[in-house]
Structure 1
Amino acid sequence: MSKASTQNGGARVAQSASGEGARKRRPRYYEPETPPQPTHCQHPECDLPGVYRAPKSRAQLNEYFWFCLDHVRDYNKAWDYYAGMSQAEIERQVRNDVVGQRPTWPLGKWGAHGPSGRPSAPRSTFIPDDVAEALDSAAQARKTRAREEQKRNSRLSKEEQALAVLDLTAPVTMAEIRTRYRTLVKKLHPDINGGDKSAEEQLKVVNQAYSTLKAVAVR
């Protein structure tokens, strides 16, 4: 074998090895990144480790609060996926969940054609009785729950709601309110929480509650 061919062969081997190395070093973009987890429970006045996550809202299902076991249980009990939705929106959401969020349409609307106008396989719009009953039961349960929640909120005055935010109950003095407020501000301050957005949102709620109670005190 000639020297040139040996060198060329060596180059090919080196290139192959380099290619394998490049493939090994290639970032695996399909692997999801895990967001940083807070080191403590995000419930005010709780210093236990926050190892249980809970979605922030219906629109933020991939963003989480982190709680200890007791507080994630409390959060889950109070969680309402349908909060802020009308009864019609709730029923539409429940029906969409039954069909896996896939689009549906009545058979007679396009006849034997799909929404594109092209012939398609026949589609059935029949809903089994047990599914229909489940839909009706779920809708009625949501309606009852919404009414009870509305009654409960209407019974609470703005002052009572503000006290609940600060985890206080009447009777309470303004000095006690001020002390509690300062404690929560220190707990939720951005410098303490590393700019955590959830802590900032909680701090806004606390500030609003304190402003409400302070306004009542000066009347």
Structure 2
Amino acid sequence: MRSTSTKRSWRQIHDRPEERPQTKACDHPGCAHVGEYRAPKGRDQLDQYYWFCLDHVRAYNASWDFYKGMSPDEIEDEIRRSTTWQRPTWPLGTKTGNRRFNFGIHDPLGVFDDVAEDLEKARTRPPTPEELALAELELTGPVTIAEIKAAYKVLVKRHHPDANNGDKESEERFKRISQAYKLLMTALSA
């Protein structure tokens, strides 16, 4: 049988009063008060602290400048990096490196074939009229009005019927180029 003197209850083990930390003297020279408040030693030592009394921590905080000694460009970089906790970022949807992710389901019995076909149809949507017009002008988006005008001038000169001795194929291409140009200019001016 166990003796009751060595047996401790759960309350005795877990409900101990908090042990008070050792009191430190204020780190300000010549101060005899207790240093209860911590303050970082510097921008590059944020995990090391001075311990000050209330009066001296207020004075330290009033005079401390995190960005002291940094140029405006360095300050701007630090602020931008701080918004993401100094982690690298990249635009949403871009592929990084050669990694490609396939979130498909392994379906050896073909249970989800209809779903896969619907997804494939959704991925292969028909091009918009603007996309077709860009392709007709041999451009890829996004483009500016100046780029559209420059491509139009080059293609009109190349496919104009007078420059091709009345060739029907060139004439048809000339008409398509003109229609594509008009469509893009109205779309961009709207």
State the TM-score, normalizing by the size of structure 2.
0.38
Q: 1 or 2 for the larger relative contact order (CA 8 Å, sep ≥6)?
A: 1
Q: Please identify which structure carries the higher helix content.
A: 1
